[in-house]
Structures are given as C-alpha cells and as structure tokens.
Amino acid sequence: MDFEDKDILNQRLEPSPGVLYVVGTPIGNLGDLSPRAKSLLQKVSVIACEDTRHSGHMLKHVGAKATLLSFYQHNARHRLSQLLELLKGGESLALISDAGLPGISDPGETLIHAARKAGHNVICIPGPCAATTALVSSGLPCNRFCFEGFLPSKDKTRKELLARIADENRTTVIYESPHRLVKLLQELNQFCGAERPLQIARELTKLHEEQIGPTIGDALQHFLENKPIGECTLVLGGAPQHLETVQLSQQELVAEMKVLIAEGASSNDAAKAIAQKYGQSKRSLYSLLHDIKTNNGK
C-alpha cells in the first residue's frame, strides 16, 4: 500500500463542492475518528445525521460548525430532495450515522444511491464498523463471510433465514439489540446446535469490551446468567462441510480409488479425492492402496 504526499494534499483540498462524503464515525471510542474524517467534518457546510442531538456531542467535540440536518428512515423521502438540491447548488455535504459506517444497518443507502444517480461524486471516508471489527477479533474464518445485519422480526421470514444461516458454510455476522439477544441465541441453538462456534463481541472499542463464546451453548448459558447489556455483534462459525456419511468397507474404498487410478489419477491424488469425499485420512487410504499392491505382488 502506498501512502504518498498526495494523500495529505487531497485531505487539504477536501471537501469539494457538490460531493457527498460518506463518513465513518466511532462505534464507541472517540479516538477512532480518523484525522481525515475530523478535518472533513470541520470543513463541510452541511452534515446529514441520523439524530442531530446524538451526533451533536461528537460534532461539538471535533469542532464542526456545519448546519446539521436529520436524515432517518421516516423523513428520508422528504429530506432526499432537499439534500440533492444542496449538492446541486455546490454545497459540500457529509453523511454520518449514529455510529460506524452509514449504510451498514443504518440510513444512508437511499441518499448515496440518489446522489450517484443524479451524477454527484460520492466519496467514502472509511471508519469503524462493528461487523468487521467483531469478525476480525472473533478468531473465526474471515477470508469469506456473510453479513446479515438485524434478522427480520416476522416469524416466517425469520425462520427461513435462520434455516439458511444454519446451512451456510461461511462465517456469518449478525447484529442484535441486547433485549432480544437471548431469544436469538435460543433460536440459533435450535437451528445450528449448541456446539456451533459463536463469538459475541460486546461493547467493542469501549472500556468494558469483551468476547463471549466459544459456542452457541456457552453464550446462551452466559446470557441466561448475566442480563445482556450494551451493544453486541454475533459472529457465527459456518456449518461444517457436508461429507458423504455412507460408511464404506475397505474393499469399497479401494474400488473407488482404483476407478480414479484407471481414469488417470495418481495413487496420491486418488487417495486425496476419496479422503475428502468420505472424510477419511488420506494417509491411511494411501497405505491401504500400497498394501494391496504389495500383497498382490507376492
């Protein structure tokens, strides 16, 4: 990664007129606001925030002087045209949410979409996000993952999604509020089983940050004994890969390996393929083949 002088220069030139800046803000620790985000929030003319009173504290702390406009689910339609007009008039506009990255289980997506559609440049000033922060600190595989945000509350849709999550091989990240956490853990217990790996990141970046796990059963037990408080993000381990569950005799395993060898595979590759297919040890299948060859040679 290159960090050049021009990056610092860019920061000095920001904000540009008519650009929508999507700014990541802390998820609990004010020290996580980047210098670039701070400088931009000090210089833009208008800041759209989910809740002006909530963000007012952080914005006062950074010395922002911009006009604050609320932008949330229920006024989005009415506010959208006003914000687009401001961009058209050459104002610089920053979009923030109560915490983290706007658009990630927070309002923002509609404004970003509308600004792009109207031909305005949209620039994201990256910052903290609970989903990725919880994921990378969970110790669970994070090279491929799914993000579900908050699960739907409607019974049928929720059950269908829980069944899909239970079958998902990739790590899944879920948001939940503390007062619904135990219900979600009971459902995960029912759909995925108590032994499925789960790490719950509580109060990330804050003084009392903690991790609860390492399985669904352990987390459920913990929160039945300790009332959930604070913000929680769940990181659920993927479903184990389905292996052929059929139990084959040694002769049958050898026969399958011989078919692969007759098709041109090496003994090593045949043992590897059948080991993966039936969840067996490659080494023991390879020696099985070797023993048969030796015995036949006698």
Is 99 an interacting residue with respect to ligand SAM (CB under 6 A)? yes
- Stretch of 69-77, 84-92, 96-104, 116-124 contacting ligand SAM, by CB under 6 A: 96-104
CB of residue 150 to ligand SAM, shortest distance in Å? 7
Is 148 an interacting residue with respect to ligand SAM (CB under 6 A)? no
CB of residue 280 to ligand SAM, shortest distance in Å? 41
Is 137 an interacting residue with respect to ligand SAM (CB under 6 A)? no
Helix (H), strand (E) counts: the chain:
12, 10
Nearest alpha carbon to residue 210 among 186, 232, 177, 192: 232
CB 45 within 8 A of CB 18: no
Is 177 an interacting residue with respect to ligand SAM (CB under 6 A)? yes
Q: In this chain, which residue has its C-beta nearest to ligand SAM?
A: 100
Q: Taking the mean position of all CA atoms in its chain, how far away is CA 43? A: 31
Is 106 an interacting residue with respect to ligand SAM (CB under 6 A)? yes
Is 95 an interacting residue with respect to ligand SAM (CB under 6 A)? no
Is 105 an interacting residue with respect to ligand SAM (CB under 6 A)? yes
Write out the two tokens for 89.
């008039």
Backbone φ and ψ of 59, nearest 5°: -70, -35
What is the DSSP track for 118-168?
Answer: TT--EEEE----HHHHHHHHH-S--SSEEEEEEPP-SHHHHHHHHHHHHH-
State the binding string over 27-46 for ligand SAM (x if CB under 6 A, else -): xx------------------
Nearest alpha carbon to residue 100 among 28, 49, 47: 28
> Which listed residue (107, 115, 176, 188) binds ligand SAM by CB under 6 A?
176
Residues that bind ligand SAM (CB under 6 A): 27-28, 97, 99-101, 104-106, 129-131, 175-177, 201, 203-206, 231-233
